[in-house]
Amino acid sequence: MTLNKFSTALAVIIAAAILSCGMGKIGRNDRSVTVRGLSEREVAADIVVWPLSFTVGNNDLKTLQSDIINKTDIAVSFLKEYGLSDEDFTIQAPKITDNSVNPYIDKDRISYKYIGKVIIMVRSGKIEAVKNANKDSLTLAGNGITINQDYDGMMNFEFTGLNDIKPEMIAEATKNARLAAEQFARDSGSKVGKIKNATQGLFSIDNAAAGLEEKKKVRVVTTVEYLLK
């Protein structure tokens, strides 16, 4: 059984299960049945987002400014070595913190009076290039740049091609809803007529599995009410 046939069969089973559990309804007067049709697709992410960030410290504000410019240039050159261009990232305005006026910091333990945080927001369809740059970002330490590897610095993957697959998925969900209705009609000695009412659910895009962000699962459920005859 091919993957597509398996997915279709599974969707019909799920739709039938929803109906049998009381999610469907049969109108007494107009003889109708309400069912749900499911469509799912597993797709590859087409965009990667990486907030490349690092901090720079100095006790002199002008020197800090110079250090930020120099290290930002080094980081940009590093990204371009991996095939990224200016269109693939944005250099955000650095955030400068004056530790001497922070009431929550012990002044005797301050290493630098001024701290500058730099974020180069990478957003690109060159997924492999960004992954390779991220993997080798430790080499920037040789230039005095320590890339932040905390949660805020993690790569995120997105799928932006939803509009390309929407029509097919809606059609598939509607088809699966009708198959479920036909199965119910056979069991009740009826026949499926025209669509009386239909509601398209919202599309959801989630990771295909935990820790598998490069693969996405797209899902939509359509609710359809059919006349019975």
Q: Are residues 176 and 223 in the same domain?
A: yes
Residue pLDDT, tens place only, 112-134: 999 999 999 999 999 999 999 99
Of 137, 158, 179, the one marking the end of a domain is: 158
Of 135, 158, 181, the one marking the end of a domain is: 158
pLDDT band at residue 17 using 50, 70 and 90 as cut-offs: very low
CA neighbor of 228 nearest in space, from 179, 176, 188: 188
Q: Are residues 113 and 64 in the same domain?
A: yes
The boundaries of the domain holding residue 8 are 3-44+160-228
Q: Are residues 193 and 95 in the same domain?
A: no
Q: CB burial class (10 A; 0-12, 13-18, 19+) of residue 152?
A: exposed
d(CA 114, CA 167): 54
Q: Are residues 129 and 54 in the same domain?
A: yes
What lies within 8 Å, CB to CB, of 112 at 6+ separation is: 57, 58, 59, 99
pLDDT at position 83 over 70: yes
Of 158, 186, 209, the one marking the end of a domain is: 158
Q: Is 154 helix (H, G, I), strand (E, B) or coil?
A: coil
Q: 189: which DSSP letter?
A: T
Q: Are residues 205 and 141 in the same domain?
A: no
pLDDT at 13: 47
Q: Are residues 164 and 197 in the same domain?
A: yes
d(CA 161, CA 152): 25
pLDDT at 155: 96
Q: Are residues 134 and 56 in the same domain?
A: yes
pLDDT at 150: 86
Which domain CATH number covers 33? 3.30.110.170
Q: Are residues 33 and 17 in the same domain?
A: yes
* Residue 64 contacts residue 57 (beta carbons within 8 Å): yes
pLDDT band at residue 25 using 50, 70 and 90 as cut-offs: low
